[in-house]
Amino acid sequence: MSKSSLKHNESDPSLPRGTALLHDPLLNKGTAFTMEERAALGLKGLLPPKVFTMKEQAARVLENYRNKQTDLERYIHLASLQDRNETLFYRIVMDNLDEMMPIVYTPVVGQACQQFGHIFRRPRGLYIPYDERGNIAEILHNWPQKDVRVIVVTDGERILGLGDQGASGMGIPVGKLALYTACAGIPPAQCLPVMLDVGTENLGYLRDPLYMGIRHHRVRGQEFDDFVAEFITEACKLWPKVLIQFEDFANLNAFRLLESWRDRICTFNDDMQGTAAVTLAGLFSALRITQKSLCEQKILFLGAGEAGIGIADLIVSAMIDEGASLETARRQCWFVDSKGLVVKSRDNLVEHKLRYAHDVPFATDLLSAVKALEPTAIIGVSTIAKSFTREVIETMAQKNERPIIFALSNPTSKSECSAEEAYTWSGGRAIFASGSPFPPCVYQGKTFVPGQGNNAYVFPGIGMGVVACEAAHITDRMFAQAAKTLAEQVLESDLEMGRIYPSLSRIREVSAYIGAAVAEVAFRDDLAGIDKPVDLLAYVQSQQWQPEYEAFVK
C-alpha cells in the first residue's frame, strides 16, 4: 500500500490497529514504531516506551541467536522472528547470509522437517489435504494476499535426501521462498508456500501422535494427477501472473508433472532445472580453470533421478549450442544408478534413462565405470554418503590434471565426499563443489574455499526475472542463460582460491543480473507480458524489495 499520500500525523485507514497490527508480520515493526505511530495506530501502552532503530533490534536478535546451543534452536529462533516481524527477519538474514543460509535452508531445514510436528509454532502458507478435493478454490481464497506471484508447492515425498516427510515437508517451501526474498528481492507478500498433503509412506510419522498431516498412505495415479490439476487450475485462475515451482516431488511424479504443465503455465521444477542450471554454471567456471571447452568434457553421474537427468539434459542443450550434435552431446553424459552403469544391454530401464543408455560393456559400480570411461568430471546426485571413495577420487586425479568433483547431494550427511577428502585425495588438484556448505580446507599450506552448488544462486534470480517481466512460460533457454550469467559473475579471485561460484555476499547483485538475463530471453522469445524497459538490469534492480521500515504516519 502507498504511504506517500498520508497527511501529517494521519495513518492509512486500511492499516490494522493495536494488537492486530503487532500480530501482522508484514507490517509489524515492534519497538521501532515511532511515538507518532503509536499514538495514531492505537499502540500506546502496548510497547515498552523506548523507540529502537532496526540496527538496535537486530543486535538484540543476533545476541540471542548466537547464544543458542544448537542449529535447530537457531532455526526455531529465526522462524519465530519471521512470524512476528518479516522486515527485521530479512534484514538480519541478508546482512548475515553466509552464517544464516545453512540455517534457513540446507542443511538445517532438513532436520527441521524431520522434527516439524515437534517444533511447530505458527502456521505459514497453505495446507491442502486430499480430503479437500473439490474445495481447493475456497482454500486458496482464504489466503489474505491478493497479488501472489510465486508459489512453491510440494507433496513432501522426496525432501532433500531424507525421503518421504509427508506434511512435515512444508519446511522446504517456506525456506525456499525465504531465499526468493533474501537472495533476489521478491516481496514476501507475493510469496506463498503450499503443501499438497496426499498422505505419506513414512510409518514413523503415521505412528507419531504429533504428526500434523493426514494419516493414510499416499494417493497415487489418476487421483493424484487430478488433485494436482485442481490446485494448479484454481491457483492460476485466482492469481493469473503466478509462477508455480514444483519442489521435492518424487521421481515417479516429478518428470510427468513438469512435462504435463510446462507449456501450459509458468512453472519449473527446481530439483531438475534449478539444480541443472547451477551445476552447468559450475562447469562453465571450472572450464575457465582447465581452459577446455564444454564439448570436450566426459561427465559421469552417480544417481539417475530427476536431478541427474535434469543436469544432463541442460548440459546436452549447452553442448548443442556450442556446435555438437544431439547424439554426440548425449554420448558425453553417462550414468551409474543403483544397479551399475546405465547401458543399452540392461533390461527394464525407465524412460528418462534410455537416452543416456550407451552401447558399451556393463560396469557394476562407480569405480569400475570411472576406470573404463575415464571421465573428466564426476557429479554426485545419489544421496549416498561417502560414495566418492578415496580410490574413485585418486583414479580421477590419475586421469585428469584438474579433475572436476561435484558432490551435490543434500544435506551434508548425504554428501558423496567432503571438500577435505576431495582436495586431499586429489593432491590439491580437484575442482570441487558441493550441495551443502563445507568450511575452507588447508592442503599443503594452501587454503581452498569450496564452492557450494546451491540452487539459491539460480532460482531466486530466475523467479525475479520472470516476475519482473511477467513471463508466460519458463524455458530451457532461460536456465541455460542463467547458468552462463552466473558463471560470468565468478571473479578471478574466486577461482584462484578454488571457489567456482560467487561469494554469497554478492547474491542479490548476482540475482539481478540473472533476472535481467532471463527477462531478456523472455522478451526475445515473445513470452513477456510487459513492454521492454530501456535498461533491463536497472528495471529488475528497481523491482527488488528492500527490508526497510516504512513510515506509517506522516
CA distances from 276 to 317, 379, 408, 451 (A): 11, 11, 11, 16
- For residue 131, report the phi and psi dihedrals to the nearest 5 degrees: -60, -20
Residue recorded with cell 528495471? 539
Output the nine-digit C-alpha cell for 108.
538445517
Active-site residue identified among 75, 90, 127, 176: 176
CA 499 to chain centre: 20
CA angle, 79 then 81 then 82, to 5°: 65
Provide the pairing of β-strand 441-443 with 446-448.
antiparallel
Is position 105 annotated as part of the catalytic site? yes
Active-site residue identified among 65, 75, 90, 105: 105
Q: What share of the chain is helix, strand, coil (3-state, %, to 5)?
A: 50, 10, 40
Largest alpha-carbon pair distance within the chain?
80
Whole-angstrom Cα Rg for the chain:
24
Is position 484 annotated as part of the catalytic site? no
E runs forming strands in 351-480: 377-380, 404-407, 431-434, 441-443, 446-448, 451-452
| H helix count then E strand count, the chain | 25, 14
Residue recorded with cell 548466537? 66
CA atoms within 13 A on the CB side of 498: 29
CA 249 to chain centre: 14
| Nearest of 511, 439, 417 to residue 102 by alpha carbon | 439
- The one-letter amino acid code at 371 reads K
Q: Return the axis-axis angle of helices 251-261 and 306-321, rounded to nearest 10°.
A: 40
- For residue 93, report the phi and psi dihedrals to the nearest 5 degrees: -65, -45
Nearest-10 Cα torsion for 82, 85, 86, 88: -110
509 Cβ neighbours under 8 A, 6+ residues apart: 489
* Residue 124 near residue 83, CB atoms below 8 Å: yes
- The one-letter amino acid code at 39 reads A
Output the nine-digit C-alpha cell for 82.
519471521
Residue 72: Cβ within 10 Å count: 16
Stated as kind and residue range, the H or E segment containing 109 is helix 108-114
268 Cβ neighbours under 8 A, 6+ residues apart: 243, 245, 246, 258, 262, 274, 462, 474, 479
Q: Running DSSP on this structure, what letter comes out for residue 274? A: I
Active-site positions read 105, 176
